[in-house]
Structure 1
Amino acid sequence: MCRNIKTLYNFDPPATEDEVQAAALQFVRKLSGFNSPSKANEAAFRLAVEEVAAAARTLLDSLVTNADPRSREVELERARARNAKRFGTGNG
Structure 2
Amino acid sequence: MCRNIRTLYNFAPPAAGDEVHAASLQYVRKVSGFTKPSQANQEAFDRAVAQVAATTQELLDSLVTNAPPKDREVEAAKARRRAQARYTITAA
Give the alignment's TM-score, normalised by structure 1.
0.92
Could you tell me which residue of structure 1 aligns to residue 47 of structure 2?
Answer: 47
Determine helix, strand or coil for the equivalent of 2:40: coil
Q: Which runs of 5+ in 2 are unaligned?
A: none
Could you tell me which residue of structure 1 aligns to residue 23 of structure 2?
Answer: 23
Structure 1 distance, partners of 2:58, 2:3, is 22
Could you tell me which residue of structure 2 aligns to residue 87 of structure 1?
Answer: 87
Q: Which runs of 5+ in 1 are unaligned?
A: none
RMSD: 1.0
Determine helix, strand or coil for the equivalent of 1:8: coil
* Post-superposition CA distance 1:47-92 (Å, at most 9, x none): 0000000000000000000000000000100100110110017xxx
Give the alignment's TM-score, normalised by structure 2.
0.92
Determine helix, strand or coil for the equivalent of 2:73: helix
Structure 1 distance, partners of 2:13, 2:4, is 20
Could you tell me which residue of structure 1 aligns to residue 33 of structure 2?
Answer: 33
Cα offset for 1:11?
0.5
Cα offset for 1:3?
2.2
